[in-house]
Amino acid sequence: MAKIIPFRAIRPTRDKAYLVSTLPFYAYKKNVLVAKLESNPYTFLHVINPEFRKDNKTQPNTVERFEKVKEKFDEFRNQGIFTQDEKPYYYIHKQKTPTHTFIGIIAGIAVDDYINGSIKIHEHTLTQREETFKLYLDVCEFNAEPVLLTYKDTPEIDKIIYKYINQRSEYEFCTTHQIQHDLWIVKDESDIQALTLAFAKIDKVYIADGHHRTASSVLHAESKRMNQSNLNKEQNFNYFLSYLIAETKLNISEYNRAITHLNGLSESVFLERIAENFEIEESKNAFKPTQTHHFSLYLNKKWYLLKAKPTILNSPSLIEQLDSSILSNFILSPILGITDLKTDPNVIFIDGTKGFHALKKSVDSGKSKVAFGLYPVSVEQLKSIADANLVMPPKSTWIEPKMRNGLTIYDLKS
């Protein structure tokens, strides 16, 4: 079952919501980040970067730095930039991009669902990052960015969602990324109970984005539990902030690869080596692969279609059947010498939302020597791998929606 709870969101006042909410700081180029911090006193980036323009700075990822984050967050609350809802509610959030519309529910979800396997994963987490995020939660005691979870489409949930999105939203604003945001508050007690019960009937939910944030929330809860003489699993720290979206509303794009060298090979020899396991067709036009096990290749101003030969598609492993694995196992590793995607500096990852133009630009600019376009992983592939307790290769998926910080904040200590 999926145990979710309504919560008393700490959130910006209606007139400042569009000014406060932000993408994570790492999503911005440095000059854009500086410009936002200089021009907008309300952006949540000031909380994330509490020492902007200060000479006496603390070290990143330390207790001292996180105390500054907490201090700045409290300052925002004291200034009335944030308020907290009087009662626990659910929140319906819609993002409308130029190409997709995403609608989901913001709620607290139980860490025990992760512990008992009801929340399924498809990525490994790094212990150091888990511990860093845990330290952040220990000091700051709030979640500002929801973990993205997906679940099987459920008519009872859809019915409640569409009841609200036909009403006026609490927040309505558009960002400079051309994304329209709407937020509705589910205050009706019968609707709150109906959503809680509907999710309780769902046996599994899947992490789409936020594996490290989830794992660190679990570590934080477990450490708090150790210090309790009388365990109360209904305290806020036993849950974490989540955005739950139905499978059909999720968008999974490919994660493409560009490589900075040909491993000392000439272009002709490089293509000959690829031809051992792939059919190669030169294309006059730029393109994206239209089916699984097909790849696009851009090299020296030419596009090629690569079709994996049947001889390399007979693995029974779900992981080895992924196109990201096929590319690594038969081209990147044996031909280009790329054996560790996590650490090799010669690999550039380009998310599929940037289109094939980004692959062409990377090569034409000289930033890379060759680029590969992949066909995106399906939701069913993701679920099958998670259900089998397997993990995907690094950067196998680019998943939307991308959530913003500071729109609905979950208080871990209340």
Q: What is the pLDDT of residues 195-252, one digit of tens each?
A: 999 999 999 999 999 999 999 999 999 999 998 877 788 899 999 999 999 999 999 9
Dump strand ranges (E) for 19-135: 82-84, 90-96, 101-110, 119-120
Helix intervals (H) in 264-351: 267-274, 323-327
Are 198 and 301 contained in the same domain?
no
**Domain match, 150 and 214 both:** yes
Quick one: pLDDT at residue 26?
86
Mind listing the pLDDT tens digit for each residue in 90-130?
A: 999 999 999 999 999 999 999 999 999 999 999 988 899 99
Q: Which of 390-412 are b and which e, b meaning 16 or more Cβ less than 10 Å from the residue's Cβ? A: ebbbbbbbbbbbbbbbbbbbbbb
For range 15-32, the mean pLDDT: 93
Residue with tokens 């990377």: 362
Contact 104, 249 (CB under 8 A): yes
Region at 264 (left for phi over 0; alpha for psi -120 to 50; beta for the rest): left
Are 34 and 149 members of one domain?
yes
DSSP category for residue 331 = I
Model confidence at 266, in pLDDT bands (50, 70, 90)? Answer: very high
**383: in domain:** no
Q: Return d(Cα 227, Cα 230) in angstroms, integer.
A: 9
395 lies in some domain: no
Residue 297 sits at φ, ψ, to 5 deg, of -130, 130
Q: Tell which wins on pLDDT, 82 or 124.
A: 82
Please indicate, yes or no, whether residues 214 and 340 belong to a single structural domain of this protein.
no
pLDDT of residue 231: 77
* Claim to verify: residue 53 and residue 130 sit in the same structural domain: yes
Neighbours of 143 (CB within 10 A): 26
Tally of domains within the chain: 2
How does the average pLDDT of the chain come out, rounded? 95
Render pLDDT for 287-346 as a digit per residue (tens, 0 to 9): 999 999 999 999 999 999 999 999 999 999 999 999 999 999 999 999 999 999 989 999
In a domain, 392, yes or no: no
Please check whether residue 148 lies inside any domain of the structure: yes
Domain CATH for 352:
3.30.1760
- The verdict on 71 and 111 lying in the same domain is yes
- Kindly state whether residues 42 and 155 are assigned to the same domain: yes
| Count of Cβ atoms closer than 10 Å to residue 413 Cβ | 10
Task: Return the closest-CA partner of residue 191 out of 167, 165, 166, 156.
Answer: 156
Q: Tens digits of per-residue pLDDT, 8-20?
A: 999 999 999 999 9
| Same domain membership, residue 291 and residue 272 | yes
